[in-house]
Structures are given as structure tokens and as C-alpha cells.
Chains A and B, each alone.
Chain A
Amino acid sequence: MDCEVSDANANPQSVTKDLTLNLGPQHPATHGVLRLEVDLDGFTVIKCTPHIGYLHRGVEKIAENRNYLQIIPLTDRLDYVASMSNNVAYCTAIERLCAIEVPERALYIRTMVAEMSRIASHLLMLATHALDIGAMTVFLYCFREREKILDLFERLCGARLTVSYPRIGGVIRDAEDEWLEDVWAFTDEFPGRVEQYETLIDQNRIWLQRTKGVGVISAEEAVNWGLSGPTLRGSGVAYDVRKSAPYGVYDRLEWSVPTGTNGDVYDRYRVRMDEFRQSNSIVRQCIEALPEGPILVDDPKYALPPKESMFEHMETLIHQFALITDGPPTPEGELYVATETPRGEFGVYVVSDGSGKPYRMKIRTPSFVHISALTKLCIGGRLADVIAIIGSIDIVMGECDR
């Protein structure tokens, strides 16, 4: 659209034009392979069209052709920043489908590792978000702590990122006392670390100018757009799946849901900072209340039997064979199970036809919905705000494109 410049000082011959700018897909500030088509009037964004699909691997199609046990590693690769939470989400869904009673100890361990992955994920979010806006020191500080959590994960299950640690009916390895002590030591020092991050940026004038009043979305609109997690809570809606439909042991622990008020980038950042402390407290409570007992359901239809007994007992071998070749038996039916991953509501809608493979598995991921809302969030802001907004809604493209 061409328009005349009204400023008398300007060259009367000159005209201004709207500029369409392509952002991404290969750009560090888009947090993965996200492409944005931004229409600009000067520096003001008048339209923002996200393009996704660069990381589409057809996870839902692959899942239809694999048995339930083989899908766990696929869920690692959705939200690779917090794969533990995805595993827990998927396993919770299948357990509810098959009405499996998970042992207490496994539930506590799962809740604990899910919260640890929430801390690790929020650390990555804060680190890259701050780096995008120009606060580089925070990046290094956050990665220092994130590294510790990843090391703890590695000691627990042998993998840092794609953990595949929970199983249908429990978890695969027990948390040993020494490991628990080290997690306890981490939770001791972590609140102090959060204060460090806060001293770095909370009162920083540049940080405040870049985040306050930027990317505002009202509570009503945020709900209508389907936002969830800290992005929704920043607008003052106290919706958290862990509270509204508890799974794991969240209903037995003392914790609160932090919310913001203004629904801007700053409030979303603040919500995550408060969640650090809540998650930290949940991890501590889990360690304190951790009961003794089995970590995997004692049902050979769903859980692989111990290796030693497989060499001695014929029946165990048969169970193992049946479970690997046919998958676990499921009742015919359909179920939508939502869980709270670091980014928001992660839903698994599974349709079972009674076989060992899902007939259809739809994965509702928060990043997908959040990116669709970029159209709304970016309008009226400056071009530089787009970068701040992308950081604040905390997206992972693996999860968005599936």
C-alpha cells in the first residue's frame, strides 16, 4: 500500500511503502525452524503470518504403525527440551486407557523428574529469551544449572535429552539414595541461583523496557486462543492441569499456581521465575515423601519382566515375546488425557481398537497453539518486540510440527 508522506520537512517526492520481511526459518531468535512473514509499516508490525512444518516428521502417522511401548521414544522427540514431561504425559494417558495402577514410588519419582525437567526447560527458555533481548550473562548462568539437571538425568537413566525413562506402568530404573542426595543438594542451592538471575535482569532498565507492556493479551482472548501454561497464567488465568485434573502425586503436595496480571512478556517471564521455586519445592517434597516399594507395575501384560527371570522361566519369556511383538492389550475406546508440560497443556487423544497399536493418536501440543497466536500477539508491536514475544511464549518446533 503506497501512501503520501504528510511531513512537510520530508522530500515531497518520497512515498512510504509497507515492507514484507521474512524472519527465519534459519534464525537463532526463532528458536528452531519457525518462519515468520512480517508486514511492517515503518517499525510497526501490521501483520504476522507464521509458517511451520519444517520439522514435520509425521509422528502421529508413525505412532499408528508402532505398538504402545515403541511410541515412548517418539515422544522424546516432540519437546526435546523437556522430554521427561512428554514421556510422563504419554505414559499417563496409556495407563488411564488400560486402567493400570501405577506403584506409589514410581508416581513420586515421575512427579519429581517431571518437575526437574520443568526447571531445566524454563532455564533454557530464560537463557535464550534473555540472549535474544541482549542479556548474555543470564544465558551462561542458566546453562550452568541446566547442565546439572541434565547430568542428574544422565545418572538416572543414561541419557541427557532423549530420556525415555518412564514406562507404561512405572519407570525403568530406581532412583538410588546417592542420586536422591545429589538432587536434594541441587534443590538446596537452586533458590539462591534463581535470586541471582533476578538480580541480573529483574531491575534492569533495558530488560524492563523490552518486556513491560509488550505482546499484551487479555485473559479472555488468551483463553479463546487456547493458550496454556505460563503463557496463559501470565494473563492472570490460574489454569494449571496439575491442579484442575491432577495426575501423578500433585494433589498430595503443597504448592501454588503463580499468575501474572498484565499478560505481557514481563509477566510471562515472572510466572516462570515463580514456577522455578514451586517446582523446586515439589521436588523436595517428593524426595521427603518418597515411599519404598516397586517401581514398575507387576503385570506382565504391560511391563517387561526382569531379564534374570526371563532366562529361567518359560512363562516370562512368552510374556516378553507377546509384549514385544503384539504390544500391550488395550480396551476398545477413546480417551483425551491432558497433562501440564513446561509449555502448557500437552494432550494425548488416543483411539484404541483393542490391538497393541493405537488406531489414532493425536498429540495436542502447547507450542502449536502458541505459534498460531503469534498472529494476534505481534500486531501493533515493533519488529524487535516480535523477538521478545517469541521468547516469552517459549516454543519448541519439534513439538509444534510433530
Chain B
Amino acid sequence: MEPMEITHALESEFTSDVVEVKTFRDQVTVTVNREKIGPICRWLRDDPRIEMDYLSDLCAVDYPKRELRFEVVYNLYSLAHRHRIRIKVRLPENDLAVDSVVSVWKAADWFEREVFDLFGIDFRNHPDLRRLLLPDNWRGYPLRKDYPLKGLEDWEYPEYEEAMELHRRDDEWTVK
């Protein structure tokens, strides 16, 4: 199916939940109602005409100037039909939560953890939502646009101090 045909099928199934459709270089991006992301993803996977059985990628984008600041982007692919589509949901800063799609694609597990880690977006009903790349006690969400490239200025490193202290005491243990 052509991406636009998929979009039309999606629009006829979830009439009131498609917010925006955009085309760029033959790739179609469909923005949908975030409350319906679970059923929409399930339908996209299970409908025999579409069969989006492969979650290529899941990530987030931060637009600080927009009212709905964050976007969560789902890049879907169908191995059987060889077509792609991109689904998006938009989230406001004061309510950063969207339903997890781990029950639809297992691949979403770590992708969602990564988004949680780097953007601070909460995925409801995720089986194990913890920081993935950064340490558990990390402060802030680095991929947000307001997070400075060099990191936060007033950052403290208790582990580092601890390690340095151990290093200083190396001599005590060395056999002379």
C-alpha cells in the first residue's frame, strides 16, 4: 500500500483521532490523538491490509516553543507489504505521559526506556521503566533543548569523590 492509502484507512477507522497528516519526500507522518495510541498501534499491526509488524524506531523530539512541547515518534514498517509510515503523538509539558506500546511490539521496551531516560517522558504500563543509558541518580534530561551541551554547571559527583578517596588510599594497601 502507498503511505497515503494507509493514512486513509487509518482515518476511516479512527475518524476523530487523526490530528494532522504531513508528507515529505514520499514519507507520510500522521499525528494522532495521544489517548488512542495503544488501539491505533494494535490496529495498524493486526489489520491484514497494513500489518505493521516491525517497530523500526521510537523516539522523541523536543519543541520548547510549542504549546504541546514534546512529540513521540513511531517509525513503523511492514515486512510483508514493505511499506512504512510514521505515527506521532504530541504531549504538553505538564502532563508528560503516553501509553506504552510494549504489549504490541517488544522492541518498544528499550526504545521507551531510552526516551524516558533522555526526555523524561512517562510511558504508562511499561513493564520496567528505569533509566537506561544514564546512571539512576542522574539529574535532568539531556536531550531536552534546555539542557546545556556541556551538562549542568552545578553537578556534583559523589561517586567520583568516593573513587578518588579510594585511589588516594591505594598506598595503604600496596605491599612495599
Within 8 A of A (CB), among B95-130: 105-107, 109-110, 114, 118
- Name B59's contact: one of A53, A96, A226, A349 (CB within 8 Å): A349
Q: Chain A residue with minimal CB distance to B59? A: A362
Output the least CB separation between A245 and chain B (Å): 7
State A333–B29 Cα separation when bound (angstroms): 10
State A375–B13 Cα separation when bound (angstroms): 35
Residue total for B at the interface (Cβ-Cβ under 8 A): 34
B82 and A244 within 8 A (CB):
yes
B56 and A338 within 8 A (CB):
yes
Output the least CB separation between A92 and chain B (Å): 13
B75 and A335 within 8 A (CB):
no
Set of chain A residues within 8 Å of B53, measured between Cβ atoms: 223-224
CB of A144 closer than 8 Å to a CB of B = no
Within 8 A of B (CB), among A182-209: none
State A336–B61 Cα separation when bound (angstroms): 14
- Name B24's contact: one of A60, A239, A333 (CB within 8 Å): A333
B25 and A349 within 8 A (CB):
no
State A58–B75 Cα separation when bound (angstroms): 21
CB of A133 closer than 8 Å to a CB of B = no
| Residue interface mask B127-138, A partner, CB < 8 A = 1 | 000001111000
CB of A277 closer than 8 Å to a CB of B = no
A58 and B79 within 8 A (CB):
no
CB of B43 closer than 8 Å to a CB of A = no
State A345–B77 Cα separation when bound (angstroms): 12
Output the least CB separation between B162 and chain A (Å): 18
- Name B79's contact: one of A239, A333, A349, A402 (CB within 8 Å): A239
A245 and B57 within 8 A (CB):
no
Set of chain B residues within 8 Å of A333, measured between Cβ atoms: 24-25
Residue total for A at the interface (Cβ-Cβ under 8 A): 41
Contact status of A334 and B24, CB under 8 A, knowing A56-B134, A58-B142: yes
| Residue interface mask B12-53, A partner, CB < 8 A = 1 | 000000000000110101000000000000000000000001
B143 and A60 within 8 A (CB):
yes
B106 and A225 within 8 A (CB):
yes
Set of chain B residues within 8 Å of A160, measured between Cβ atoms: none
A65 and B149 within 8 A (CB):
yes
Main secondary structure of the interface of B (DSSP, over half): mixed
B24 and A362 within 8 A (CB):
no
A53 and B132 within 8 A (CB):
yes
B57 and A336 within 8 A (CB):
yes
Which of A173-181, A250-258, A364-372 contacts its partner? Answer: A364-372
B54 and A52 within 8 A (CB):
no
CB of A99 closer than 8 Å to a CB of B = yes
A52 and B132 within 8 A (CB):
yes
Most buried by B among A99, A223, A351: A223
Output the least CB separation between B121 and chain A (Å): 14
Output the least CB separation between A98 and chain B (Å): 10
Most buried by A among B75, B77, B86, B114: B77
CB of A286 closer than 8 Å to a CB of B = no
Set of chain A residues within 8 Å of B75, measured between Cβ atoms: 336, 347, 349, 364
Within 8 A of B (CB), among A57-78: 58, 60-62, 65
Output the least CB separation between A53 and chain B (Å): 4
B133 and A52 within 8 A (CB):
yes
Q: Chain B residue with minimal CB distance to A369? A: B107
| Residue interface mask A352-395, B partner, CB < 8 A = 1 | 00000001101010001101110010000000000000000000
CB of A282 closer than 8 Å to a CB of B = no
Output the least CB separation between A364 and chain B (Å): 4
Output the least CB separation between A205 and chain B (Å): 35
CB of B89 closer than 8 Å to a CB of A = no
State A334–B25 Cα separation when bound (angstroms): 9
Output the least CB separation between A335 and chain B (Å): 6
CB of A216 closer than 8 Å to a CB of B = no
CB of A109 closer than 8 Å to a CB of B = no
Within 8 A of B (CB), among A308-325: none
Output the least CB separation between B106 and chain A (Å): 5
Within 8 A of B (CB), among A35-57: 52-53, 56
Set of chain A residues within 8 Å of B57, measured between Cβ atoms: 336, 347, 349, 362, 364
- A and B contact pairs by CB, cutoff 8 A, 21 listed: A56-B134, A60-B118, A96-B25, A99-B25, A223-B53, A223-B79, A224-B53, A224-B105, A226-B54, A237-B79, A239-B79, A334-B86, A335-B25, A336-B57, A338-B77, A349-B59, A360-B59, A362-B73, A364-B56, A364-B59, A401-B133
A56-B134, A372-B107, A372-B109 known, 17 other contacts, Cβ within 8 Å: A52-B132, A56-B133, A223-B54, A225-B107, A226-B106, A237-B79, A245-B82, A333-B25, A336-B27, A338-B77, A347-B57, A349-B75, A351-B61, A360-B59, A362-B73, A364-B57, A368-B110
7 smallest CB-CB distances across A and B, nearest first, come from A226-B107, A333-B24, A372-B110, A53-B133, A362-B59, A364-B57, A56-B133
